Structures are given as structure tokens and as C-alpha cells.
Structure 1
């Protein structure tokens, strides 16, 4: 630890040099080895506490100096093995340079993740660090340095999107950068898995406090997802020349081109397999983390398109998706898409799939953000001819019951789904029209003897049984819902719905759907994303052939006629009594006035 006198001397040294002096010190360092003492001075300037212009000037000089010295610098863990004094002194000098180079790298990373500097300086610092990644390991990719850079970006307290975007636009096009990015992300995810980062007080490898770097685990997970989602997935190619490398030198490039004719296809295939393996391990490790809800939803939405096609074995995500499907609510709706892909394309067996799907049918699903994709998947899941009759009947009945509780565009979707269910499963067409049965006698209730109907008790029992619906909407098991003993009486209300598209779609159920040659399935995707705006727009643009008009032979004297409310009476007895009493009171008052007038006339 530096003493106060040394710290004051360092601050004084940093402040007493301007840009011109720093430029002079840099030129002297590059021109003569006798000016090696300028190196510590320039290193003190590369610090988050220095002005940006001073950092940039020192950085350029140090970058040029270390590029020429890197080929002869020993590793950080090397030990002296030379016997003579000349070699010993040279090794000590090179070891000192190596320590200064490590100090320079640490200062660059601190400046890179600092919130005090603008994007221009950060871009220069990142380019410098990536140049060292390219050449600092003897011409091969410096994976440990790149791991430190990526780890510092992801664990930074400030916004990391700009730096990740820089990596995406400049360096993620190189296959070796992508390869080691997946390796670094896997290591970071495994370090975060199963431990509370905020309680970890151990020091990291670069001397920084782990609790300070990872004080907010949610921001770390957000940055990791932003990084892994921006790395291009593994590509399929039969030519190694299609894979551009960041750390390959000119000599290595010529050597690769000379070997291209012999083992080109084999090396390209092997490289693609390795990339796919690292891609799979990185995603598996990341999905084990406690994802925040917003990241969780975004991962589930994009998983089947952005991740599944590039995994070595997509079945490895079955545990993650089944756990997500068991959560319920919106998370289950989002997990349904990927789980359906695993079942249809990769042979995943999930015994309770339809029970969970049946539980998702609630009124709130018709207002969800991703309801369009959900209804399309629901229609696809109910398409199989091997679906049991009780299961198809339960879905049809529950959907028809929900038509009484959802907005008009939801009823529009329900009628389309019920139409497809009835057409694909003729065994449940008995739900369309079913007369009530007396369970005790096995005869229809409308065939009960007239003598029984005259009996008040027997008549009351028959009327009660004629209104029974055996379907239990609160039952979670479709087998026990009683849908096969019910009917789709709720759909009949949609025929008289106030919304024209809903009533028109319900009319399609009046046709005989068992004749499959004359009917066809309704495309649920056309109506699954419907809303009040789409319904209003379709009605406004719809051409109307006939406009209903009302003609009256005589001018109406009231808003409603008596024929509009047959059997109704609007006469109130209390009102008539009040009016009669008011008329009697007015008559008595008038008689009093007349008698008073007669008395005045008699007196005169």
C-alpha cells in the first residue's frame, strides 16, 4: 500500500504535466531505452481520476511502446532460471516491464467501465485492449485477458449496453472472439449460480472486491443476457475461409490457406461442432440463474427461434421449460411455444400437457400481450385426430363458457376455435344440440306424463332438472369436468351478439360440420390478434349492400310502442293512487273557492 508521501508525489506528478509535456515524455520513451523512467509517469496518468485528454495522450504512447516489447516479455508467473549475471539482470528488467504492462491493463479496464468518460474515449480504450488480446499471448488469442475485459463490462455498475454494442459491431464477427465469449459467459454464469453475490466478500483475481463488482445481481444478469443474445449463433459452413479470425497473424493466415485443400471440410465441420457445443453450454449455464421476470419473459419469447436451432440437443432445455410451464399465468403462456416445439419436433413426452393447457383457459388470457400466439398454438394442440373425445369436449365447453365473460374480440376467437374442434372431432358434435334427460327414469323430460305435470312437486322437479348444466368450470381435470353431459348453449348467445363480426362468425356453426368435404377449418391466426380497434376498422371499411331503414305510416307519439314490450306493463299502482288523491285535493280546493265566492256575493 502506498504511503501518503508517495501518494502525494503521484498526484503532484500527474498534475504538473500538460498535454505537450506528456507528448514529449511519450516520444522520448519510444525513441530511447534510456528514458524508461518516463514509463511510470505515463502510467500514473491512465487513471479514472485524470482528464480524458491526458489519458488519451498517455494511452497512445504506452500502446505503441508495449506493442514492441510484448514479444520478449515473460509471463506473469515466470521465474528466473538464467545463470549468468547479464541474463539475470535482463530478466529482472523484463519482469519489471511485465508488471508495468499488467498495471497498464488494469488501469485501462478501470477507465473502460468508469462512468466519468465519454463514448469516444471508451471506444479507443476498448480497441487498445482488444489489440492486446490479439498480440499479447505470442500471437494467439489471450483468453484470460479477454475474460477479464468481458467480466468487468458485465459486472460494471453503469450501463454496459454501449460497450456490448461495440463488441457486437466490431469483434463478434470473428469466430474466435465468439468462441471465447461463450466460454467466458459460461464461467461467469457458473460463478453466479447457487450463491448470493452481494454476500461474497472474497477478493477477485484482479484485486477488486467481488461484492463491489456484483452488488446488484439483477443488473449482472441483465448484462449477461444482453451479451449472449447479441453474440451471433454458430454458422454452418463447409469452408474454413468463411470463418474470420481475430488473432491469426499473417504467417498463420498463409499456413491456413496452404492447408485448405487437404482438410478444409473436416476442419470446418469440427469448428462448427465446437462452436455449437460452447453455445449450448453458455445458454444452459445462463438459464440456471435466477432470472428477473422481465428477462425471464423475453427469454421464453425468443427461445424457440434464437436458441433451439443452434443447440447441440434442444431436449436439454426440457427441465427449464417444464418448470416455466408449471409456473402458471403469462409465464406458462410464453413457455408453451417452446415446449410445443420440443414435443412436435424433438419427441418430448409431457403427460400433463393438456391438463396444464386446460388450466390456462381463463378470462385474463384474452387480454394478454402474447394471446395471438397462444391461440394459434392452442388450435394446433387440438388438431390431432387421436385426441380423446372427453378432452375435445372439455376444451370446447370451457371456451364456450368463457364467451360469456370475455370482450367481443375474445368471443370471435372462441367461435373460431369451437368451429375447428367440432369439425375435427365429430364425436363431440352431440354438444351442439342436446335435449335434457331425466337421470332417474332415462326418459326425456318433455315426455313426462300430463298427470305428473299437474302434480306441483313432480312438475317442480322436472323443471329443475331441465335447467341443469353438468359441466363444472372449476374442475381442473378435463376428464372430471362433465363436458360430455352438457351442451354448447353459450354459443347460442353469440348468434345474437351486438357485435356484427361475432354474430356472423357464430352463424358458421349452424352448418353441418361433420360433412368435412363441404367445410374447412377457420384460420385462427386471422382473428387471434383481434381487438376493439381491428373490429371497428373492419366494420368501417366493410361495404354494406343494404341499409336498414324504418318507415312509419303515422308519426309516432312515443319512443317505444306497446308491441315492442309484449307482456310488459309500465303502470304503477302507487303512482295512480297519488294522481287520484291529487285530483281529489284539487277538486276540493276548487269547491272551497266557489263557496267563498258565493259568500262574498251574498254579503254584498
Structure 2
């Protein structure tokens, strides 16, 4: 039936020319007797209509409705038992106005719309938003527009075209998000959008759990493509909203009534730019901005959006929230996930701990568990290593914790690329400088003259040096697979891995490891190393540094006499080398003689 009705409307539209359409618009504007032209003009505002016809109809209808909007009754207002004919007429106009805003919304988000027409449509919608609620900001029309942009509830005409483009969102942000009230009501509508989407997700979860044939793990099934797309568009919309950065910023309002709010009696209180101070506006904007972000973070975010959010939070969100500590649940859950998600959540969590008093008892245990070989290939490894150095900067850290991090990092250096080994040496250097109580971890060769009384000379705790140096060489009590720093036995080990790096195949690594021992000898005069100088290194940076170095002496593979063997007997005391070829020749001679 719907297809038949649409086909009839299409045939009816095709009977009229553009000049006739313009004439009908003129008649509508001049006399109420031609009000029946309104539904016909309205039928041309569809994605299937030619752009000139849709534009001409839009201009006529906008000119017709703009002066009448203050007189139109509310959509929810019911007529009396004996209604006035004028009221019936205005109620009918209200229904047609609501239909017009819906058609304009569908036309704005449709991929079939012409670019220039889409911009005119958006401007018309925002004009209705400006004056469409008895002079106040029309939140219902604006909310309808945002719902269509994020693809929550729209007409079936454009339902299959979701995700084709985001031009209307870009135009909205570029042209109207510089107005404070538009940003304010965008955040206010965003809460409703998040609640609507959350209900849709709950319905899907309920339907899936009711179906016995579906597995219990419904998390992967909840995020249908349409819901994922809506969440992605909601994030893009939210990322475009900027709160008031400066309380002295000049307030620009799209609507003259400014930011209105309801009092306890349900009446609107007007707060225009002449009454509302910049400080109060910034406070109100912060509250709405915070609620919008908290409501968005409660949604089941796709992994790509999840990562983008974690990157954005510490850069442009936390500082503008009214109460940043509200992010602690989201960030602690993200930090507990592990892997790259935990690495990306560390920046925001560190800000909450250092600047907003967040207490997280298991923070260092989780941080210790993040130290894996794959970390050196992560995209955000540079920021992570800098934060790791900052987290271990406190001199109040217990010795066992500092020793565990030193030992774990040193063990990772054996598997890390040369750029990662350089970062590890810098981190270990700083830890040993900050915590002299673990200096006994520095590797020392055990010879016949070594005694067990060296603990006092090297600030070694009682028992640690005895266990380490009185046992057989080569035994390492460190438990590399243990995730709890308390149980790693790092205090009974030594940094033999750093000593191994002195023979690394990469010259920068071997030189840096060799300098570590020299720096520790003059600890009081050597400052800490800036980890940021090494955190973003790679094979390319190491190669570039090496080719720029000025080498005074170049080693050459030169022998004064031609070598007769691969190894010298001096390198292997107690071993005797023989030439099996000569023995075979002697045997052949004896066999031939026989």
C-alpha cells in the first residue's frame, strides 16, 4: 500500500512544472484560501524530487511557516470538547509543520540530496530551531536532527543509506558549533541519544538471551553493524563539541533566549547573554559536557572507537570535565583489560592519580604485568615508556618494587630490538639513580678473591648478598613469569642482562650499556636520563645516528700473517686440536703400502 501511495504522489508531482510550483507558493503566501497548496508543496520535499523543485517548495514553505510558528499550538495539546475552528486550523498547521521538519531531516541525511540543497536544508532546520518554540531554542526539532545524523530513528526512505556520508555533521559542526547554546543543547540531546541507543542494545541482548539456540556469549552479537555505525557517529559528534575553554570567552548565542533551564515549578528561566555571565555559562557547559561523555562511555563501544576514546580522554576531555574522577570506573576497567588497551588507558589513569587524588592499590601490579615483548612494537610505546618512567619516579617506592621493575626490564632487553634495549637501559639507569638501596643488583663477576663480606661496601641488604654470592654462579632466582612484584625474588638476583648488553651486536646498545657502569660510579654527579630521547627510537633512527657519527678509528679485518686455523689454542685451554685431514692421509699411506 505504501508503495502504491508513493507512486501516486510521484505521478501527481510530475504533472506540475517548476513555474506552476512557484505560482502555488505565491498563492499560499498571499491568501488562506490556497492553503490546500501546502500538502502538494510538501510532497516535493523528498530525496527523490529534483533539486530545483525541492528548493522552490522549501523556500515557499519556510516563508509561510516562519511568521506563524509563535501561534502554533503544541503538538501534545489536545483540542477541547467544542474546539474553535481557528484552533483546529492551527492544529492542522502544526501537524504539517512537524511533517515538514521530518521531511527536511530525511532530506538532509540522504545521500541522494544535492550538496548545495543539503546546505540550504540544514540552514532551514536551524532557522526553525531558532524560532520554532515561541522564541526559545526548539530542542525537539534539533533533537530530531541529531537522531537522524547518528542514525538512530529515521524514516524508511533513508534507512538503508546510513554511513554513506557525514557531510551534514561536518557542516553542522563548522557553521553552528561556535554558538554556545548550540553546543549546550547538543550535549543535552546527546544524553537522550545515548539512553535511546542503550535501550536498543538491551533489547537485542534480551532477545538473544531468550533464544536458546544462541550461545551465552552475546557480547560479539550485540554490536550489530547499525549500532556500531551509530556509536561511531555519536563519537564523531561528541568529538566536535568543545566546552568553554576560557571563562572570559565571548558568548555567541544562536537563539536570543540563550541557555534556558526549568525551575522547580516547571517554568523556563531565561538566561540570555546579557544576564548569564561567562563563569556561569562555562559551569553549565561543563556539567552538560560531563554528562554527555559519561553517558557515551556507558555504551558498548567498538574496539576502534574504544581506542580513539582512550587517546582523546587525556588530551582534550579530562581537563574540561566538572568532576574528572567520574572516569575512574571506565579507566580502571580499561586498565584491567590488558594489552594495548591498558597501555592506552595509562595516560588518563595517571592524570587521575596524580592530579585528582584517585587511589588505585593494584596500579603497580597491573603496570608490571604490561611489560611484555610485544610492547616494543606497539603504536603508543613512546608515550607509555615516558609514563612508566614518571610512575617509577617516586623515591617512596619500596625496594622490592623497584628491583622487580629493574629486573623485568632487564630481562626484556634480551628480546627487544636495539631501540627497545636503549630505552630499557635509560629506565634502569634512572631507577638505580633514584633507589640506591637496590644498587647491589648491578652485576659483578665472582672470582676466587671475592668474599661474602662485600655487602657492606655496596649497600647490600643483609642476606641478599649472602644468598646471591655464596651460591654457585649462574643461578638466577628471579621468576620472570610471576606477575606479582612481591613474589618475583628480584632482590635475590642481579642485573646480569645489562652486563650482557655490553656485547650486543648493535654498537649504540653496547656503548650505552658500558656507560651505565661508569655513570653509577659517579652517581652524585650524573643526572637522570631523559627517556623521551629514546622512547620513539627505531631501526631507522639508530641507522641515521650511526651514519652521522664521525669515526676516528675504523676497525679492519687485517692479518699480518695468513691464519692457519679458525680458533687459537689459547682461547681453549686444556683442549688439543688436530687435523683430521692429515690423519686420514696417513692412514691411506699405510693402507697403500700394505
* Bin of the TM-score, shorter chain as denominator length: 0.7 to 0.9
Correspondence for 1:493: 500
| Runs of 5+ unmatched residues, structure 1 | 203-213, 447-461, 592-604
Match of residue 527, structure 2, among 520, 524, 533: 520
Which residue does the alignment assign to 1:458? none
- Is 2:400 the counterpart of 1:385? no
Residues 83-125 of structure 1, C-alpha deviation per residue, up to 9 Å, x if partnerless?
A: 7xxx922222222222111111111111122222232222221
Counterparts of 1:388 and 1:298 in 2: how far apart (Å)?
35
Query: Of the candidates 479, 482, 492, which is equivalent to residue 472 of structure 1?
Result: 479
Change (3 A) 1:429 1:29: same
Q: How many residue pairs get matched?
A: 544
Q: CA deviation at 1:558?
A: 6.7
- Answering whether residue 174 of structure 2 is matched by residue 178 of structure 1, we say no
Check if 1:161 corresponds to 2:169: no
Q: Does the 8 Å contact 1:82/1:88 carry over to 2?
A: no
TM-score normalised by length of structure 1: 0.82
| Residues 436 and 444 in structure 1, CA contact (< 8 A), matched pair in contact too | no
Task: Find 2:133's aligned residue among 128, 134, 137.
Answer: 137
The secondary structure found in structure 1 opposite 2:472 is: helix
**5+ long unaligned stretches in structure 2:** 153-161, 208-223, 261-269, 455-468
Provide the residue aligned with 1:284 in structure 2. 294
Does the CA-based 8 Å contact 2:251-2:273 persist in structure 1?
Answer: no
- 2:85 corresponds, among 89, 106, 112, to 89
**Corresponding residue of 1:16:** 15
Relative to structure 1, is the Cα distance of residues 478 and 3 closer, same or farther in structure 2, using a 3 angstrom cutoff? closer
**Alignment correspondent of 1:413:** 423
Cα-Cα RMSD? 3.4
Q: Name which of structure 1's ranges 269-278 and 155-164 shifts more when overlaid on structure 2.
A: 155-164
After superposition, residues 571-590 of structure 1 pair within 5 angstroms as 573=580, 579=585
Q: C-alpha distance in 1, partners of 2:506/2:80?
A: 90
The residue that corresponds to 1:457 in the other structure is none
For the 8 Å contact 1:393–1:428, the answer to whether it is kept is yes
Match for residue 187 of structure 1?
A: 192
Distance of aligned partners of 1:569 and 1:445 in 2 relative to their CA distance in 1, 3 Å threshold: farther
Deviations 1:9-42 (A, max 9, x none): 4222111123232222222322333322221111
1:474–1:257: structure 2 CA closer, same or farther, 3 Å change rule?
closer
Q: Distance in 2 between matches of 1:50 and 1:571?
A: 97
Give the alignment of 1:233-244 within 5 angstroms. 233-238=243-248, 242-244=250-252
Q: Counterpart in 2 of 1:541?
A: 548
Which of 144, 147, 157 is matched with 2:143 structurally? 147
Post-superposition offset of 1:543: 1.9
Residue 158 (structure 2) aligns with: none
Q: TM (normalized to structure 2)? A: 0.84
Inter-partner Cα distance in structure 2 for 1:367 and 1:150 = 40
1:426–1:514 contact (8 Å) kept in structure 2: no
Matches of 1:465 and 1:236 in 2, distance apart? 66
Q: Deviations over 1:236-271 (max 9, x none)?
A: 3247xx111101179x9xxx99994xx66xx32222
Deviation at 1:519, TM superposition (A): 0.8
CA distance in structure 1 between the partners assigned to 2:93 and 2:8 by the alignment? 21
SS in 2 for 1:243: coil
> Which residue does 1:364 correspond to in 2?
374
Structure-2 change in CA distance of 1:358 and 1:199 (3 Å) = closer
| Cα distance in 1, alignment partners of residues 375 and 588 from structure 2 | 59
Map 1:325-336; keep pairs closer than 5 Å: 325-336=335-346
> SS of the counterpart of 1:487?
coil
Per the alignment, do residues 357 and 561 of structure 1 end up closer, same or farther by CA in structure 2, a change over 3 Å counting?
closer
* 2:328 equivalent to 1:318: yes
